């Protein structure tokens, strides 16, 4: 087993990984920017090293500073979390060169799956079902028009090296093609240093379903079933749940088999996620995320598999603790991403100082967070405050538990998207499980959130209501700190 691990990340995911290390007796090392010097993950670590100013390009994305910190601390491994260096094959190669274990997949798999063009070719050859389209980079807009006519409009332009919803644009007709191709290419070059773009058929209003896979260096590879991630805004996930309401047991088994085949084709080990689009009973492999996902906790609470623990075991050369036959999901889980965003200003990021903070608690509730009262959310990074995860014996009970947990969650001083989640939990289509990726615009969810915020603000302005909420918050805070209210 590794003796010391550096976590090349910040916030809640850094703490999540450190907790897994602590349970193994592995010493932890944090790297942090000037903006994070008072962050909770820095306080949690056994050792900590400042790696530069607040902007990520000068700190968390500075490969050499992170490697230098690992060498100085004597860390035997580096866990990248998600984002930043998590899917950077160059960084993984630097780790290998410096005899540091990169706690993730092999470089070859990262490179293959990091290129949507190369990975698509590889998947087709292996027999994995992919979205109709082409497997070559587009030379110019005239070629793009020809391909689009062959595939059939509407189509999607995609950056080959893209990810996180960046470098994707829908094109409905040939009049849009030239401008759209130029825009996506420039965005791809600026974001990923690679302006290669390809075309896929646009699957209108699909469901977005992903399968968690994990494998060891001995060649054992399994899946831990699916997560539904169709509640999205601008291709960014906001709510996830498992199991998906859309899959039959037969389809679940079939797509799980395809996910394992895709991972094996890439020579994969450690944790990863195979993403699929699903519509009208048909599914298509979309891409593979070669890292731990933000939404991994809902898989953990339904399967009992500690994915971060398995990552550390695999990186240490040990075999998986599970075989496919051992994985039997139980109940239903939902995750809401609690972000510092302004519902009344098109959900723009709203970094600020947290004045009051009380997390929900009770049966079936898990919070992954990295903040505390008095902490100032920096403007340089993702606006996530916490991940709220609930488990229930079935989906209706999980939804009701999430509603209760959202009501308990109190964040003062920072505008946040809790009202969005409250509106969704009461939406008839969500409750019926009949939603897809068009859910938010189709049902005018954002307009409903604005109305909800305005009405709630008006109702809570009276002294009686304010006093009642203060009393509730006091109970929640006391309960979370282990005190008894008499």
Concatenating the DSSP letter of every residue in 179-210 gives: HHHHHHHHHHHHHHS---EEEEE--SS-EEEE
410 exposure class (CB count in 10 Å sphere: 0-12, 13-18, 19+): middle
Could you confirm whether 291 is annotated as catalytic? yes
Beta strands in 82-220 (DSSP E): 101-102, 155-163, 166-171, 197-201, 207-215
CA distance 442 to 231: 11
Which has the closest alpha carbon to 481: 376, 373, 405? 373
CA distance 28 to 160: 35
Q: How is residue 245 annotated by DSSP?
A: T
C-beta atoms surrounding 130 within 10 Å: 21
Q: Which of 10, 252, 291, 401 is labelled catalytic?
A: 291
CA distance 42 to 40: 5
Cα 279 to chain centroid distance, Å, stands at 22
For residues 48 and 41, is the Cβ–Cβ distance under 8 A? no
What region, left, alpha or beta, does residue 101 occupy, with left being phi > 0 and alpha being psi -120 to 50 degrees?
beta
Per-residue burial over 52-90, b if 16 or more Cβ lie within 10 Å, else e, is bebbbeebbbbeebbbebbeebebbbbbbbbbbbbbbbe
Q: Both tokens of residue 222?
A: 């399994």
What region, left, alpha or beta, does residue 4 occupy, with left being phi > 0 and alpha being psi -120 to 50 degrees?
beta
For residues 368 and 387, is the Cβ–Cβ distance under 8 A? yes
Q: Angle at CA 320, nearest 5°, toward 317 and 325? A: 160
Cα 37 to chain centroid distance, Å, stands at 24
Catalytic positions, written as ranges: 291
């Amino acid at each position: 087993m590794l003796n010391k691990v550096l976590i090349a990340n910040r916030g809640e995911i850094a703490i999540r990984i450190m907790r897994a290390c602590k349970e193994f007796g592995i010493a932890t090392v944090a790297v942090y920017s000037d903006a994070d010097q008072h962050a909770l993950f820095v306080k949690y670590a056994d050792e900590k090293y400042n790696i530069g100013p607040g902007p990520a390009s000068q700190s968390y994305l500075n490969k050499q500073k992170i490697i230098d910190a690992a060498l100085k601390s004597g860390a035997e491994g580096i866990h990248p979390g998600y984002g930043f260096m998590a899917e950077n094959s160059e960084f993984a190669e630097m780790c290998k060169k410096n005899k540091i274990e990169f706690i993730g997949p092999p470089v070859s798999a990262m490179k293959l799956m990091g290129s949507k063009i190369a990975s698509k070719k590889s998947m087709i050859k292996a027999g994995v079902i992919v979205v109709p389209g082409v497997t070559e980079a587009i030379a110019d807009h005239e070629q793009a028009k020809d391909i689009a006519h062959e595939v059939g409009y509407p189509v999607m332009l995609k950056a080959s090296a893209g990810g996180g919803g960046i470098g994707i644009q829908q094109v409905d007709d040939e009049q849009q093609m030239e401008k759209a191709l130029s825009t996506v290419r420039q965005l791809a070059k600026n974001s990923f240093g690679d302006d290669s773009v390809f075309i896929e058929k646009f699957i209108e209003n699909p469901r977005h379903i992903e399968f968690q896979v994990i494998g060891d260096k001995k060649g054992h590879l399994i899946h831990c079933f699916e997560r539904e991630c169709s509640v999205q805004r601008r291709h960014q996930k906001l709510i996830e749940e498992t199991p998906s309401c859309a899959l039959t047991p037969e389809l679940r088994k079939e797509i799980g088999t395809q996910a394992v085949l895709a991972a094996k084709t890439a020579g994969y080990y450690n944790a990863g996620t195979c993403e699929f689009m699903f519509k009208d009973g048909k599914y298509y492999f979309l891409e593979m995320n070669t890292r731990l996902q933000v939404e991994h906790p809902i898989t953990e609470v339904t399967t009992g598999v500690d994915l971060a623990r398995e990552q550390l075991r695999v990186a240490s050369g040990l075999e998986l603790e599970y075989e496919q036959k051992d994985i039997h999901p139980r109940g239903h889980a939902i995750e809401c991403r609690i972000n510092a965003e302004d519902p009344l200003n098109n959900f723009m990021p709203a970094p600020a100082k947290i004045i009051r903070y009380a997390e929900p608690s009770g049966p079936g509730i898990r919070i992954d967070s990295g903040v505390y009262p008095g902490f100032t959310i920096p403007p340089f990074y993702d606006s996530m405050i916490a991940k709220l995860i609930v488990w229930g014996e079935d989906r209706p009970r999980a939804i009701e538990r999430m509603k209760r947990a959202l009501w308990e969650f109190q964040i003062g001083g920072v505008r946040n998207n809790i009202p969005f989640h409250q509106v969704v939990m009461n939406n008839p289509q969500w409750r019926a499980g009949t939603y897809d990726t068009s859910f938010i615009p189709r049902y005018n969810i954002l307009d409903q959130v604005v109305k909800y915020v305005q009405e709630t603000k008006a109702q809570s302005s009276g002294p009686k209501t304010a006093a009642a909420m203060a009393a509730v918050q006091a109970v929640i805070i006391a309960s979370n700190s282990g005190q008894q209210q008499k």
